[in-house]
Amino acid sequence: MVTLKQAILDPKNSFGTPQELLAAPNFSLDEKIIILRLWAYDAERLEVAEEENMTGTDDDMLKNIIDCLSTLEKQKIMF
């Protein structure tokens, strides 16, 4: 089981997909939002590196992360 510290330090390697994070029962809604925000930040940095002809990331992953983040933020508003 992934710990909060592991997830915060390396969300990409802690979960295969953002949906795996959403399904993780050991994290609160707020913790999942934090982890997804950090994951999105990392993915955005990798996109910038790709634009500069360095190692990059999958564009679909960033969209997937943002979609999951949006879903959680909507849930938070409802509660």
Express each pLDDT in 3-55 by its tens digit: 999 999 999 999 999 999 999 999 999 999 999 999 999 988 887 776 666 55
Q: What is the DSSP letter of 30?
A: H
Of the candidates 55, 15, 45, 47, the residue with the CA atom closest to the CA atom of residue 32:
15
- How many C-alpha atoms does 1 have within 13 Å on its Cβ side? 7
CA distance from start to end of the chain: 27
**At what angle are helices 29-51 and 59-78 packed, to 10 degrees?**
150
The verdict on pTM exceeding 0.75 is: yes
pLDDT for the residue 48: 76
